[in-house]
Structure 1
Amino acid sequence: MLINDMTIEQLLELNEIICERIDYLRAKQDQNVLAQMHIGNQVSFKTDEGRIFGVVIKKNRKTVVVLSEDKRRWKLPPGMLTIVKDI
């Protein structure tokens, strides 16, 4: 069946299935990142202000609290964070 042939009801049902799958994949990704992250890790993340660097100060079940270089606290989903590796 082509998407152009679908009714509104069919499109809404398809949309719900796609959104559930996206939520599942994001949760799985967050769990994987969270398993690799430890308190004290240096991390970075992207905001409208640009790239922010900080240190993990707390891990929750679904979020991570980061203390940025400018002493602000950020509560973020793990999938937004990148562990900074020293070279």
Structure 2
Amino acid sequence: MEDAIKTVVMTYIKSSKGKENLDSSSFKKLVSKQLGGIMEDADSSSAIKEMQKGLDENSDGKVNFSEYLNLIGYLANAMSQKQCGSTEAAS
């Protein structure tokens, strides 16, 4: 678990190049390179723009760490539901 948390934090720091926020370009790269295996539209520029807009709670055009964590939480929840659904269907 500790390694997973470190990975989430370090991925953000590397993607933001040590800045407080991910700009549009950095966010797009993070999603397409790091989340392509678990997100359907990770290669769609328009879908990524809409995702960024939806995460951007303070409407500054950037994704801060807290907003990024909302995305991670959403993805973790979706993955959990998918796995639990697979387990229940197999029973």
TM-score by length of 2: 0.32
Q: If each structure's strand is expressed as a fraction of its own residues, which one has the higher value?
A: 1
Q: If each structure's helix is expressed as a fraction of its own residues, which one has the higher value?
A: 2
TM-score by length of 1: 0.33
Larger Rg computed on CA atoms: 1
